[in-house]
Amino acid sequence: MSVNFDNKRNVGVLFALLAATVVAAGAGILWLRGSGEPLIVEVGYTLLVLLGALAVYDRFLVQ
């Protein structure tokens, strides 16, 4: 199970996935901090975002 990075589409999907993960995690953490949520909620949210990104990575890129 590997990713063929010779295909430019796969590289584009990977970069889009990385950017979306960083934006979603960053925006969510800022929103949670503004809401006064405890640190454990921020950690849980970040883990959910990372697990979602891993699922998308597995679905679209791993062959």
Sign of the alpha-carbon dihedral angle for 48, 60, 14, 17:
negative
Whether residue 52 lies inside any domain: the answer is: yes
Query: Which residues, including other chains, have CB under 8 Å from residue 10's CB and lie 6 or more apart?
Result: 3, 4, 61
Whether residue 12 lies inside any domain: the answer is: no
Per-residue pLDDT of the chain (63 residues; tens, 9 = 90+): 567 777 777 888 889 899 999 999 999 999 999 999 999 999 999 999 999 999 988 888 876
Domain that residue 35 falls in: 18-60
pTM of the model: 0.80
The domain total for the chain is 1
pLDDT of residue 21: 94
